[in-house]
Structure 1
Amino acid sequence: MSAGRLLSMLLLLQSRGLVSARELAEELEVSVRTAYRDLARLQAAGVPVYAEPGRGGGYRLLDGYRTRLTGMSEGEARALFFAGLPGPATELGIAAEVTAARLKLLAALPTALREEATRTAAVFHLDAPGWYRDPERAPHLPLFADAVLTGRAVDVRYRRWKAPHEVSRRLRPYGLVLKSGTWYLVAAGEDRIATYRVARVLDAVPSEERFDRPPDFDLGAYWTSYLDDFRTRRYTGTATVRLSPRGRRRLPDNVPPEVVWAVDTTAVAVGGDGWVEAVIPTESTDHACGELLRLGTDVEVVAPAELRRAMAATVGALARTYGPA
């Protein structure tokens, strides 16, 4: 028998009012028979649980009864921030703590506020990953979450895009960021603070070293600065393109927001058929060619000549591949 499970059952009854044995069993992930047995144990311990028979019946606490066992553990208090983020909480390895903290918080609220909180939770849901791709597997994420909270350095083996492709580092984790379903670790290395994609960590082992995060370090401010720097390094050139009305409508589904913004701010009409000409940022000739080809005949590259030739060469190769034998 789990004392924690009995406490969770008591808090469920306190926060929800009338609950069937089947609902209790589903919430606590036990059999209905076990739920009945736990209800009997609560009654034997003096908790005023009584049954309402008949269709739509269930179990409830005697009106006015409230347990004082709502104090949160340290882990549950930390987990409370993720109460509305079940997916990320599971990835971080704190799903159970989130559930327990949420139950305790609901149980401590007055009835009117509890009903409002429950109603609000039922109409909002966060799905962090972007469309058209599965979230990345990040098996070392719980270890980094613990390291961030406890101030413990971690020895990692990391796969990066440039040579040497595998490197070993001792990192002092300062924070974790979830962006579009991908987790990033912000950590201090030997000489600087850097950002690491958690899914690219090949091995991670906690070290004995302890550290203190600088008191003036602001994770949100760092991430904003990192994104600004990333955009600056990412886009090294520009291209002039012409877009049909349909091509412009299709932009948000096929290119990054920075390109859409550039079109919106630089577009000028050309001709009387709705086509516009705009200047967009580009990473490289190959990358820009791949992105713009998604728009098919709804886009024309005007400049630079290198990108225009690359588009023509790719379209020519496609024509030869799919042309008559």
Structure 2
Amino acid sequence: MSAGRLLSLLLLLQSRGRISAPGIAGELGVSVRTAYRDLARLQAAGVPVYAEPGRGGGYQLLDGYRTRLTGMTEGEARALFFAGLPGPAADLGLAAEVTAARLKLLAALPTQLREEAARTAAVFHLDAPGWYRDPEPAPQLALFVDALLTGRAVEVRYRRWRAPQEVSRRLRPYGLVLKSGNWYLVAAGESRIATYRVAQVLDAVLSDERFERPRGFDLGAYWASYLDDFQARRHTGTATIRLSPRGRRRLPDNVPAEVVRAVDSTATAVGHDGWVEAVIPTESIDHACGELLRLGIDVEVVAPAELRQAMAATVGVLARAYGLH
């Protein structure tokens, strides 16, 4: 029997007022049977819990009863930052701590503020992953959290895109970043600080090496700089395209935001039917061909010749596949 769970139950009753046994079970992550058993233990300990029968009934504390046992544990204090982020908290293995910390905070608030906090929580929800794909599994995430909080280096086996694809590294973790539903580890290697996609870590083991993160290191500033550098390295070329009015309207749903911004800043009218010509950044011929083909007849590649030829060749293959040649 967890004394911490009994305290969480007491604070839940204090912060929520009346709540059903299934509601208690859902909040605390236990079975309904366990919820009933915990309620009985609270009553046996002298806590004035009583049941309100009937529809809309449930369990609640006697009016005026309040506990002052709201001290937070170290784990709950760490989890406090994630109090409004249940998904990321669960990824990091902090779901129970977040629930306990949230209950303790609510229990410490006056009734009016507690009701306002509950109303706010009911109308806002964060869903971090992007559309059309599931978040990546990251089984090594909890180990990296441990390494970050204890200042220990980690031995990892990592899968990357270039050869050799599998490499082994000793990393000194500096921070974790959640981007579009995917977790990234920022860590110092043998020669530099780098970013590693946690889902690409095949194995990870805590080492005996202890280290201190540099005092001046700013995770947010590093990440912003990393993104700027990533965009600069990602777009190595440009293309000149023509877009119909419909193609321009469809652009934000089919290409990255930086391409949309490039069109907006470079578009010039061509002809009298609303078409425009613009210069956009590109990653590679194949990648640009795949993105622009989403726009169908509403886009024409003017340059470079290699991209125009790739578009024509792909359209030719499609035409043959549908028996048009």
Deviations 1:206-241 (A, max 9, x none): 000010000100000000100111111111111110
Q: CA deviation at 1:112?
A: 1.0
Structure 2 residue aligned with 1:226: 226
Structure 1 residue aligned with 2:306: 306
The DSSP-based 3-state class of the residue aligned with 1:292 is helix
Structure 2 residue aligned with 1:239: 239
Q: CA deviation at 1:47?
A: 1.1
Question: Is 42-51 or 27-36 further displaced after alignment?
Answer: 27-36
The DSSP-based 3-state class of the residue aligned with 1:302 is strand
- Name the CA shift for 1:88/1:259 in 2 (closer, same or farther; >3 Å): same
Which amino acid in 2 is paired with 1:220? G
Taking the aligned partners of 1:282 and 1:35, their CA distance within structure 2 comes to: 57
The DSSP-based 3-state class of the residue aligned with 1:47 is coil
Q: After TM superposition, list the pairs within 5 Å mapping 1:167-246 onto structure 2.
A: 167-246=167-246
Which amino acid in 2 is paired with 1:267? A
Q: Give the paired residue count.
A: 325
1:134 matches 2:140: no
- Name the CA shift for 1:295/1:286 in 2 (closer, same or farther; >3 Å): same
Question: Is 15-24 or 66-75 further displaced after alignment?
Answer: 15-24
Which amino acid in 1 is paired with 2:157? R
Taking the aligned partners of 2:33 and 2:154, their CA distance within structure 1 comes to: 45
Taking the aligned partners of 1:195 and 1:204, their CA distance within structure 2 comes to: 15
1:40 matches 2:58: no
Taking the aligned partners of 2:132 and 2:274, their CA distance within structure 1 comes to: 30
Structure 1 residue aligned with 2:70: 70
Q: CA deviation at 1:87?
A: 1.1
Taking the aligned partners of 2:26 and 2:287, their CA distance within structure 1 comes to: 49
Which amino acid in 2 is paired with 1:23? G
Return structure 1 stretches of 4+ with deviation > 4 angstroms. none
1:106 matches 2:106: yes
5+ residue gaps, structure 2, are: none
Structure-2-length-normalised TM-score = 0.96
- Name the CA shift for 1:302/1:109 in 2 (closer, same or farther; >3 Å): same
RMSD: 1.4
Structure 1 residue aligned with 2:295: 295
5+ residue gaps, structure 1, are: none
Structure 2 residue aligned with 1:267: 267
The DSSP-based 3-state class of the residue aligned with 1:126 is coil
Deviations 1:167-211 (A, max 9, x none): 111000000111111111000001100001111111100000010
Structure-1-length-normalised TM-score = 0.96
